[in-house]
């Protein structure tokens, strides 16, 4: 016994030793019962022991079975929460309004072996599903196996077929990406394929995020405000119908956060059926097209001139004669033939004055500033469609003069927007985004201009609306500032710039008054090859065709953005009256 105990202690763990000892004692009890002449007790104890073990086992099985029956839902819950591999999260605007969603649809299947009357089924399905190809229907009806006939049926369509009571017709649920707003914000939202992969716009740019959030039941909030987007598209459409351009672009952005509050490209398309739209309609002109912007670039040149210390607000420029630079002569579109202050150069959109300022800045500094402003690279934004600019191969004086007033350099409207923001937000180059940001969020940004330059640019842009070429963009009480732009397009047929094919735009900011850190918004309206009307006296320049649309748009969206009007005796007073008087300054 002691030897046995010693071996047990050495070789086996405590539990086994305890069990062994128990059995040992039980066996001794049997032996004792036999020794005391109660052999029948020995058998009974053994029977009792075996029955007890069986009962124990049965109780264990019962508990297990009950538990499996009652709590099997946990496993079933996992199956119910199964997410389709094609699933995509909802896309909503910044206020939670639905822009894109996966909705239940149905696929229709035909099992020929269960079809009683092929002829009657054929007639009924042709009437109910006129879009289905007849040959396809015939193959499904006469085939030898269950065949998929058509998909993407709405519950209403499914119910209509179901009511026909046709044997052999079955439905299987499937998810379909739906864009309930049709053409609204189509280029920004983009579209996805039936496999759940984003192909354009936010659907492509935020593809991973949208797919990951589908499992969690989340939604992706875009930066756009549907009310702003609606007004933007409406004003752009009205301008497009009036002036008949080849295309048009509208952008509204928050200058501090870089959020795009509205992006419109005309013509547009229905993302529910992108295949039926022409490539022209699907083209996102805000991101994918590049234009020679014309005079809106003068805002950059003037800002660079101020920031580099080459000019002050009081500097004057001699625009009495065309400016000869190398082999070329630069003329003014609105020839004033006088000495202009810097503000007047901006207000009259003087090519001569701007070119002289740019030459004063010099090729190296101007190209460096343009690079810092992001004009030499594709606009930094999530959209994959963001196009790279066409920039001068060599930054010489000729290139400097051309680019100073927006020629010889093609950028996308989004790139122009991004570069404009530092002029209006205190000099910070904030990245554009289609993601909603929290109120008060300020993205990390590189300081590319001084705050003083930015404040001066706001004043100059306001002066251009109160007393310059941007007068038609004014919206009472909203202190609109801005710059017109009219760039002639290069015509390959005549191998030179064609004065009849223009890109007319207006780049605006509102409100232009108040401290730099105040909420402020940038608006761009651009028309590609507009046509003048009798009302515009045949002109199709930015000031005539884009500025009025910009003013009307700003008047509509200001309440949505919380910008209140300040209508009073001081409204529309020229803020720069004191500095518009020519004073001491370099005559460049």
Partner 1 sequence: MSVFTRRVRGFRLIDVVALGLLVLLIMSVYLAKTMASRERAQIARVEREISSETARIRLLEAEVAHLEQPSRIERLSTAYLEMAPVTVDQETTPDTLAIVALPKVSRP
For partner 1, the closer CB: 228 or 358: 228
| Stretch binding partner 1 (CB under 8 A), from 231-239, 274-282, 374-382, 401-409 | 231-239
| Stretch binding partner 1 (CB under 8 A), from 70-78, 159-167, 286-294, 532-540 | 70-78
**Residues near 184 by Cβ (< 8 Å), separated by ≥ 6?**
226, 229, 230, 233
Q: How far apart are CA 146 and CA 153, in angstroms?
A: 18
Q: How far apart are CA 376 and CA 411, in angstroms?
A: 8
| Stretch binding partner 1 (CB under 8 A), from 3-11, 229-237, 274-282, 327-335 | 229-237
- 428: phi then psi, degrees, rounded to nearest 5: -95, 130
DSSP state for residue 320 in the 8-state scheme = S
- Determine how β-strand 481-491 pairs with β-strand 316-318: unpaired
For partner 1, the closer CB: 55 or 452: 55
SS3 state at 514: coil
72 sits near partner 1 (criterion: CB under 8 A): yes
Q: How far apart are CA 263 and CA 284, in angstroms?
A: 9
For partner 1, the closer CB: 17 or 158: 158
56 sits near partner 1 (criterion: CB under 8 A): no
Least Å distance between CB 473 and partner 1? Answer: 15
Joined together, the tokens standing for residue 291 give: 């234009």
Joined together, the tokens standing for residue 101 give: 């969603």
H/E run at residue 141 = helix 134-142
Least Å distance between CB 301 and partner 1? Answer: 34
513 sits near partner 1 (criterion: CB under 8 A): no
SS3 state at 368: helix
Among positions 110, 166, 186, 231, the unique one binding partner 1 when judged by CB under 8 A: 231
Least Å distance between CB 189 and partner 1? Answer: 12
Please name the residue ranges forming H helices in 297-377: 298-307, 342-347, 351-361, 363-372
Least Å distance between CB 482 and partner 1? Answer: 18
Contact yes or no for 403/422 (Cβ under 8 A)? no
Please, which of residues 163-222 interact with partner 1 by CB under 8 A?
A: 178, 180-184
Contact yes or no for 524/506 (Cβ under 8 A)? yes
Cα distances from 426 to residues 150, 311, 347, 373, 459, in angstroms, run: 57, 19, 22, 13, 13
Q: How many residues bind partner 1 (CB under 8 A)?
A: 45
For partner 1, the closer CB: 178 or 516: 178
Catalytic residue among 223, 265, 288, 295: 295
- 142: phi then psi, degrees, rounded to nearest 5: -110, 5
Q: How far apart are CA 292 and CA 544, in angstroms?
A: 18
Q: Which residues of 480-511 are buried (b: 16+ CB within 10 A; e: fewer)?
A: bbbbbbbbbbeeeeeeeeeeebbbbbbbbbbb
**Residues near 24 by Cβ (< 8 Å), separated by ≥ 6?**
none
Least Å distance between CB 360 and partner 1? Answer: 41
362 sits near partner 1 (criterion: CB under 8 A): no
Is the peptide bond prior to 380 cis by the omega test (within 30 degrees of 0)?
no
565 sits near partner 1 (criterion: CB under 8 A): yes
Residue 220 pairs in a beta bridge with 91
Among positions 88, 177, 211, 227, the unique one binding partner 1 when judged by CB under 8 A: 227
| Stretch binding partner 1 (CB under 8 A), from 48-56, 321-329, 364-372, 374-382 | 48-56
| Stretch binding partner 1 (CB under 8 A), from 92-100, 109-117, 250-258, 575-583 | 92-100
| Stretch binding partner 1 (CB under 8 A), from 58-66, 281-289, 369-377, 444-452 | 58-66
65 sits near partner 1 (criterion: CB under 8 A): yes
104 sits near partner 1 (criterion: CB under 8 A): yes
For partner 1, the closer CB: 13 or 562: 562
For partner 1, the closer CB: 218 or 476: 476
348 sits near partner 1 (criterion: CB under 8 A): no
12 sits near partner 1 (criterion: CB under 8 A): no
559 sits near partner 1 (criterion: CB under 8 A): yes
| Stretch binding partner 1 (CB under 8 A), from 15-23, 111-119, 539-547, 561-569 | 561-569
- Determine how β-strand 219-221 pairs with β-strand 90-92: parallel
Q: How far apart are CA 293 and CA 506, in angstroms?
A: 10
Least Å distance between CB 41 and partner 1? Answer: 8
Residue 507 pairs in a beta bridge with 483, 524
Q: Which long-range contacts (CB under 8 A, 24 or more apart) does 14-20 make?
A: none
Least Å distance between CB 476 and partner 1? Answer: 4
450 in active site: no
155 sits near partner 1 (criterion: CB under 8 A): yes
Among positions 21, 35, 83, 103, the unique one binding partner 1 when judged by CB under 8 A: 103
62 sits near partner 1 (criterion: CB under 8 A): yes
> Smallest Cα–Cα separation from 300: which of 468, 188, 422?
422
For partner 1, the closer CB: 75 or 584: 75
Q: How far apart are CA 74 and CA 67, in angstroms?
A: 11
For partner 1, the closer CB: 167 or 476: 476
Residues forming contacts to partner 1 in the complex (CB under 8 A) are: 41, 44, 48, 51, 55, 58-59, 62, 65-66, 69-70, 72-73, 80, 97-99, 101, 103-104, 155, 178, 180-184, 226-227, 229-231, 233-234, 475-477, 552, 555-556, 559, 564-565, 567
Residues marked as catalytic: 295
């Amino acid at each position: 016994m002691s030897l046995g105990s010693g071996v047990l202690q050495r070789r086996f763990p405590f539990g086994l030793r305890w069990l062994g000892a128990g059995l040992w004692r039980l066996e001794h009890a049997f032996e004792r019962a036999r020794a005391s002449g109660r052999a029948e007790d020995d058998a009974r104890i053994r029977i009792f022991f075996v029955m007890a073990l069986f009962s124990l086992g049965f109780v264990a099985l019962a508990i297990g079975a009950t538990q499996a029956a009652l709590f099997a839902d946990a496993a079933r819950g996992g199956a119910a929460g199964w997410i389709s591999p094609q699933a995509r999260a909802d896309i909503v605007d910044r206020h939670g309004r639905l822009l894109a969603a996966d909705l239940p649809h149905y696929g229709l299947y035909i099992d020929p072996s269960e079809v009683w009357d092929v002829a009657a089924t054929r007639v009924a399905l042709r009437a109910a599903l006129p879009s289905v190809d007849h040959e396809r229907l015939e193959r499904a009806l006469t085939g030898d196996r269950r065949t998929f006939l058509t998909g993407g049926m709405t519950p209403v369509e499914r119910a209509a077929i179901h009511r026909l009571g046709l044997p052999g017709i079955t439905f299987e649920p499937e998810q379909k990406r739906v864009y309930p707003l049709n053409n609204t914000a189509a280029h920004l939202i983009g579209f996805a394929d039936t496999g759940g992969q984003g192909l354009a716009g936010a659907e492509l740019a935020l593809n991973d995020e949208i797919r990951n959030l589908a499992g969690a039941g989340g939604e992706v909030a875009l930066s756009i405000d549907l009310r702003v987007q609606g007004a933007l598209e409406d004003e752009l459409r009205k301008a497009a119908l009036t002036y008949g351009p080849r295309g048009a672009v509208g952008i509204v952005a928050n200058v501090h956060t870089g959020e795009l509050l509205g992006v419109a490209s005309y013509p547009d398309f229905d993302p529910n059926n992108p295949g039926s739209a022409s490539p022209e309609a699907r083209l996102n002109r805000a991101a994918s097209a590049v234009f020679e912007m014309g005079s809106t670039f003068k805002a950059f040149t003037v800002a660079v001139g101020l920031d580099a210390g080459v000019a002050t607000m009081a500097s004057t420029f001699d625009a009495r004669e065309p400016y000869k630079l190398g082999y070329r002569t630069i003329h003014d579109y609105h020839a004033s033939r006088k000495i202009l202050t810097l503000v007047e150069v901006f207000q009259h959109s003087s090519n001569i004055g701007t070119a002289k300022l740019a030459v004063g800045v010099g090729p190296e500094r101007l190209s460096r500033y343009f690079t810092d402003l992001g004009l030499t690279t594709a606009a930094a934004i999530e959209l994959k469609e963001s196009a790279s600019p066409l920039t001068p191969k060599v930054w010489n004086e000729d290139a400097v003069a051309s680019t100073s007033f927006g020629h010889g350099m093609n950028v996308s409207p989004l790139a122009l927007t991004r570069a404009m923001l530092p002029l209006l937000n205190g000099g910070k180059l904030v990245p554009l985004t289609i993601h909603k940001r929290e109120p008060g969020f300020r993205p990390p940004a590189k300081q590319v201009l001084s705050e003083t330059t930015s404040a001066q640019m706001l004043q100059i842009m306001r002066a251009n609306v109160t007393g310059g070429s941007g007068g038609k963009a004014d919206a009472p009480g909203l202190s609109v500032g801005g710059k017109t732009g009219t760039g002639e397009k290069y015509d390959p047929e005549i191998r030179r710039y064609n004065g009849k094919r223009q890109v007319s735009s207006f780049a605006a900011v509102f409100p232009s008054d108040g401290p730099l850190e105040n909420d402020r918004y940038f608006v761009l309206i651009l028309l590609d090859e507009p046509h003048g009307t009798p009302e515009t006296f045949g002109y199709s320049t930015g000031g005539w065709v884009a500025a009025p649309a910009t003013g009307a748009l700003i008047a509509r969206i200001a309440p949505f953005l919380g910008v209140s009007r300040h209508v009073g005796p001081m409204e529309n007073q020229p803020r720069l009256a004191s500095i518009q008087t020519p004073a001491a300054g370099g005559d460049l």
